[in-house]
Amino acid sequence: MPEPAMTAHRLLEQMNAGATTAEEIASQLIKKAEAAKTLNVFVHLDPDHILGQARAIDARRKAGQPVGPLAGVPVGIKDLLCVEGEPTTCGSKMLKGFKPPYDATVIARIKQAGAVLFGKCNMDEFAMGSSTENSAYGPTLNPWDASRVPGGSSGGSAAAVAADLVPLALGSDTGGSIRQPAAVCGVVGLKPTYGRVSRYGLIAFASSLDQIGPFAHDLKDTALLQAVISGHDPRDATSVDAPVPDYVAAVAQPLDRPRIGVVKEFFGAGLDPEVAAAVEAAVKIYEKAGATIREISLPHSKYGVPAYYLVAPAECSSNLARYDGTTYGHRAEDFSPKYPGEENLPPLLRMMMASRSEGFGPEVKRRIMLGTFALSAGYADQYYNKALQVRRRIREDFDRAFTEVDVLLGPTSPTPAFKLGERTANPLAMYLSDIYTITANLAGIPGISIPCGLTKSGLPIGLQLLAPAFAEETLFRIAAGFERETDWHLKRPHGG
Ligand code: GLN
């Protein structure tokens, strides 16, 4: 019998029944993480700190004091969420050694809920990438096949859950960075509605697209973590002051004959036939369970990738301007003039230039240059403003679709996990990994990826469901309907 996946709800039951303690769980997982070191999942892991948190929770539980909904549950943290006093590098050499003086709101909330903050998870530098190969700290390997990538940019978070090093993890999704790694690592990943979760303390990539969300093995666990991190935060002006529905209850609701739209444009050229077959099989399962299926067209989705690669780099070029070596982050030691003409520049400027060229990796530099160009006088109308018009059209496509169906369905990623190095030389091939996920970010709507199959060679396949803004509850209900009919979420790497 394969070992069952480690879920938060099972661990909570065991801890509440006195069958185990947070300390026991934490110390086992620390050993397991040590043994799985070659996967390169964590960029920072402090056993003493983890055990200290676990002991504190155990003491509260033992004393009969109230404990939160995640009391004693280890959670992996994508390394772009600020944790007070803990290294937070964003996968970049630029922030090596940076220790934030405050907690991100999501971190404060999970601490309040009693979670044990486990390691900081590896990621593509500044969340730019789809494979975690852009990390300054080396790539993470996919637990299902170590010659392959775990997806990205939240590859460390997805791999940590897939390898059962933690039951829950937090990631961020700007164009697909939760859903795509969830799909290729065989776990659940939710990108909430823009504004549902506070971005305060999330190191910004593209502020109009970034959103934090959970990874887990099943929907109940996903809902548990999402419930804790959701809600208004006065420290993030884009966080929405709206009631948070009971997500855990939504998972237990009956499917209730949903109307499901299969997105025509998500089945075009470039889609792996095994992924297509698994998604088509999922549609059949929904049909059998009482769903009404119809085809839906989102005619502007073909412009999603080009629009995203103007909007996201434009915002990144502005957000990343703060890393100039003056206040925090990497500062070059040697900024003596190296190129003709540099001797005429003031030393401060040379210091900034040298710090940025040493601190950032090639993909981040490419994005900064793309974005600076797209925003420059004379080109903004042609590029950035045009991209904003396309963004509106994409949103209108979704608005129209959701007058006819409750959710939209398609593959999450066009292919299963690809080989390490396969797409690094070709940025466009890498960018196309997010072809089905990017439009949800441009429209601000929620999306979830759930396991829906394995390829012949044993690689996970993800099914994506998209819902109208703030309809996460619908996503939970409809995704759970599929989970109940199948056992894909129970499959484990290495024959499990
Ligand atoms: N892969 C996309 C990019 O490189 C999306 C990344 C993300 O969602 N953070 O920008």
Q: Convert 410-422 into a string of H (helix), E (strand) and C (coil).
A: EECCCCCCCECCC
> Residue 4 has what pLDDT?
67
Over residues 229-240, the mean pLDDT reads: 98
In this structure, is residue 169 part of a structural domain?
yes
Annotate 150-171 with three-state secondary structure. Answer: CCCCCHHHHHHHHCCCCCEEEE
Considering only CA atoms, which residue is closest to atom 4 of ligand 1? Answer: 129
Q: Which domain holds residue 378?
A: 325-385
Q: Which atom, in ligand 1's list, is nearest to the CA of 209?
A: 8
Considering only CA atoms, which residue is closest to atom 10 of ligand 1? Answer: 128
At residue 328 the predicted structure's pLDDT band, cuts being 50, 70 and 90, is confident
- Coil, strand or helix at 267: helix
154 plus 243 within the same structural domain:
yes
Structure tokens at 322: 């703060």
In this structure, is residue 231 part of a structural domain?
yes
51 plus 191 within the same structural domain:
yes
73 plus 206 within the same structural domain:
yes
At residue 495 the predicted structure's pLDDT band, cuts being 50, 70 and 90, is low
Over residues 26-36, the mean pLDDT reads: 98
Q: Could you tell me the distance, in angstroms and rounded to a whole number, from the CA of residue 373 to the centre of ligand 1?
A: 19
> Residue 1 has what pLDDT?
42
171 plus 41 within the same structural domain:
yes
Dihedral angle of Cα 183, 187, 193, 194, to the nearest 10 degrees: -70
User: Tens of pLDDT along 157-182?
Assistant: 999 999 999 999 999 999 999 999 99
Contacts of 437 (CB under 8 A, 6+ apart): 173, 175, 176, 179, 180, 191, 412, 413, 447, 464
Of 358, 385, 412, the last residue of a domain is 385
Over residues 300-324, the mean pLDDT reads: 97
In this structure, is residue 57 part of a structural domain?
yes
Number of structural domains in the chain: 2
232 plus 364 within the same structural domain:
no
CA distance 255 to 319: 42
CA distance 153 to 373: 24
In this structure, is residue 35 part of a structural domain?
yes
240 plus 361 within the same structural domain:
no
70 plus 211 within the same structural domain:
yes
180 plus 34 within the same structural domain:
yes
CA distance 305 to 378: 23
Q: Could you tell me the distance, in angstroms and rounded to a whole number, from the CA of residue 155 to the centre of ligand 1?
A: 11
Over residues 311-339, the mean pLDDT reads: 95
381 plus 486 within the same structural domain:
no
In this structure, is residue 135 part of a structural domain?
yes
The per-residue b/e assignment along 161-193, b for 16 or more CB within 10 angstroms, e otherwise, is bbbbbbbbbbbbbbbbbbbbbbbbbbbbbbbbb
In this structure, is residue 230 part of a structural domain?
yes
Q: Is residue 413 in contact with ligand 1, taking CB distance under 6 Å?
A: no
Q: Could you tell me the distance, in angstroms and rounded to a whole number, from the CA of residue 18 to the centre of ligand 1?
A: 42
Indicate the top mutation candidate among 121, 135, 170, 177 to test ligand 1's pocket, ranked by most ligand atoms within 8 A of CB: 177
The answer to whether 212 and 236 have CB atoms below 8 angstroms apart is no
Q: What percent of the chain has pLDDT over 90?
A: 96
Q: Could you tell me the distance, in angstroms and rounded to a whole number, from the CA of residue 40 to the centre of ligand 1?
A: 20
The answer to whether 163 and 493 have CB atoms below 8 angstroms apart is yes
Q: Is the pLDDT of residue 2 over 60?
A: no
User: Residue 85 sits in a domain of what CATH number?
Assistant: 3.90.1300.10
235 plus 358 within the same structural domain:
no
CA geometry: angle 156, 25, 452, nearest 5 deg: 45
Q: Is residue 92 in contact with ligand 1, taking CB distance under 6 Å?
A: no
The answer to whether 244 and 231 have CB atoms below 8 angstroms apart is yes
Q: Kindly write down the DSSP assignment for every residue of 338-389, as one continuous string.
A: -STTGGGS-HHHHHHHHHHHHHS-HHHHHHHHHHHHHHSTTTTTTTHHHHHH
> Residue 417 has what pLDDT?
98
Q: Kindly write down the DSSP assignment for every residue of 72-136, as one continuous string.
A: T-EEEEETTB--TTS---TT-STTTT---SS--HHHHHHHHTT-EEEEEEP-SGGG--SSSTT-T
Q: For the chain, give the number of residues.
A: 496
Indicate the top mutation candidate among 125, 130, 426 to test ligand 1's pocket, ranked by most ligand atoms within 8 A of CB: 130
Q: Is residue 173 in contact with ligand 1, taking CB distance under 6 Å?
A: yes
Q: Is residue 203 in contact with ligand 1, taking CB distance under 6 Å?
A: no
CA distance 23 to 51: 6
100 plus 217 within the same structural domain:
yes
In this structure, is residue 408 part of a structural domain?
no
Q: Is residue 435 in contact with ligand 1, taking CB distance under 6 Å?
A: no
Q: Which atom, in ligand 1's list, is nearest to the CA of 174?
A: 8
Is 198 in the active site?
no
The answer to whether 211 and 238 have CB atoms below 8 angstroms apart is no
Is 177 in the active site?
yes
In this structure, is residue 1 part of a structural domain?
no
Which run of H or of E encompasses 493? Answer: none
Of 351, 385, 419, the last residue of a domain is 385
26 plus 115 within the same structural domain:
yes
User: Tens of pLDDT along 177-200?
Assistant: 999 999 999 999 999 999 999 999
CA distance 435 to 417: 15
Q: Are strands 407-411 and 292-296 parallel, antiparallel or unpaired?
A: unpaired
Count of C-beta atoms within a 10 Å radius of residue 5: 21
Judge residue 47's burial from the number of C-beta atoms within 10 Å of its C-beta, 0-12 exposed, 13-18 middle, 19 or more buried.
Answer: middle
At residue 3 the predicted structure's pLDDT band, cuts being 50, 70 and 90, is low
Indicate the top mutation candidate among 134, 153, 212 to test ligand 1's pocket, ranked by most ligand atoms within 8 A of CB: 153
